[in-house]
Structure 1
Amino acid sequence: MTLNFKEIATASMILFAVIDIVGSVPIIIDLRKKVGHIQSEKASIVAAVIMIVFLFLGEEILNLIGISVESFAIAGSFILFFLALEMILGITLYKDDAPETASIVPLAFPLIAGAGTMTSLLSLRAEFEVQNIIVAILVNIIFVYIVLKSSKRIERALGKQGISVIRKVFGVILLAIAVKLFTTNIKGLL
């Protein structure tokens, strides 16, 4: 069991792009305004556990309940699509009882360890050694934790206008990821 730096670096970059915690800063700031406090440690640990468990059991769980990886990815693309619409249009589609704190839902799941991340983990599993993927997950979780912890400072540095612009730009990027996730996986279903 040896670690391969190239595999770790590649898997880390793929997960970094899919998790897109920097692009989620506007969502994190909105959550903090709604709930007052973000439990960074809890969200990071739970997201790491979800990703590692899914790395080992994801395909089996989906097979057990009769869902293909493609169907799972397409469902995830719809969630990303609607999140992107909220960001671009400045509307609220998802209405839930206001959570008391933001940690497990919606931070750990689906924001950090969402359907895109889960699908990516299943794809990475086919290409890379498991220990390298686990290291890549941990590298990303450390970065996620740092971003969650410093969201107030990031908000101050960017200001209201900066956050609004970033929110719309990353909304478009998220929309593009949703479309790509949908089109890539719909071929597998048809």
Structure 2
Amino acid sequence: MIELAISAFVTLFVIIDPVGLAPMYGALTRDHGEAARRRMAIRGVAVGGLVLLGFAVGGEALLGAIGVSLDAFRVAGGVLLFVVAFDMVFERRTERRRRQVEAAHAADIGAGAAAMLAAESAFAAPEIMDDALTHEHEDVSVFPLAIPLIAGPGAITSTLLLTTRAGGDWLALALVLGILALVLALTLGALLIAGRLNRLLGETAAAVISRVLGILLAALAAQFILDGAAALVLDVIHRGGA
């Protein structure tokens, strides 16, 4: 049980990456007020958590419905996690997240500018002016914060793999879900102090932490692949013997 708890915490913490997500969130909300940043952080973590919880509870049934075995998913999930780890070690994931943040921010500015131009008309209706003020600072809690920055493919895969490891043990499943809630709470805390965390760590320290966590994730991904491949080989041998 302790081994599962440690594995779940390391995997989810590395994949969701609260330390690396905080500066991205700070850049995404740099034009928002403190109250708006806090509100969007809470909503984003809540939505991302619900998505991950849905896959944790119903993901195995979904795999069964489409005819994919858990062992095959372990191999595929391990490969995906290894790719994520590779990106982390060579800082490709950071660059990709930065592009997502910049794209969302550019869309935010474009929507706000279009609405403000429409409202500048002398004959603009009051509801148009209200729409302009609403779009001046777009809500980014669902996209891109909740999806894909928090509940991305790697986090969904990790959550499903960890819950399948728990098997039918409800205590183990509750432990995994508790670890998920803990990581999400840490993520929320990091988002709420994103500005101070950026100043405290600096870009160099954040890059070092990301690389170290990437190496740990690569090892966990390799273990997922080995476990799934071994089970598939044993299943093939068993069927051949039968």
TM-score of the aligned structures, taking structure 2 as reference length: 0.61
CA deviations on 1:130-149 (whole Å, 9 max, x unpaired) are 55654444344323321232
Q: Which amino acid aligns with 2:43?
A: K
Moved more, 177-186 or 59-68: 177-186
> Who is 2:44 aligned against?
43
**Aligned counterparts, 1:129-140, within 5 A:** 129=171, 134-140=177-183
Question: Which whole-Å CA distance do the structure 2 matches of 1:41 and 1:21 have between them?
Answer: 20
Q: Which residue of 1 aligns with 2:208?
A: 165
Identify the match of residue 145 of structure 1 among 188, 199, 221: 188
Measure the CA separation in 1 of the matches of 2:210 and 2:149. 16
Match of 1:126 in 2: 168
The match for 1:28 is 21
Query: Could you tell me whether the CA contact under 8 Å between 1:77 and 1:182 is conserved in 2?
Result: yes
Number of matched pairs = 183
CA RMSD of aligned residues (A): 3.3
Q: Which has the larger radius of gyration?
A: 2
Partner AA of 1:147 in structure 2: A
> Where do 5+ consecutive residues of structure 1 fail to align?
1-6
The structure 2 residue matched to 1:107, chosen from 149, 159, 166, is 149
Q: Which residue of structure 2 lines up, in the alignment, with residue 4 of structure 1?
A: none
C-alpha separation in 2, matches of 1:132 and 1:77: 21
Question: What is the rounded CA distance, in whole Å, between the counterparts of 2:90 and 2:180 in structure 1?
Answer: 32
Q: Is the 8 A contact 1:43 1:104 kept in 2?
A: yes
Deviations 1:125-179 (A, max 9, x none): 4233355654444344323321232233222211121112112111211221221
Counterpart AA for 1:53? G
SS in 2 for 1:145: helix
Please state how far the C-alpha of 1:62 moved relative to its aligned partner.
0.5
Change (3 A) 1:166 1:111: farther
Structure 2, unaligned stretches of length 5 or more?
31-36, 106-139, 234-242
Quote the offset at 1:183 in angstroms: 1.4
Q: Is this contact kept in 1: 2:82–2:217, CA < 8 A? A: yes
Q: Which has the higher helix share?
A: 2
Q: Deviations over 1:99-133 (max 9, x none)?
A: 45432222232278321221101222423335565
1:17 equivalent in alignment to 2:10: yes
Question: 1-side partners of 2:157 and 2:191: how far apart?
Answer: 20
1:67 match:
68
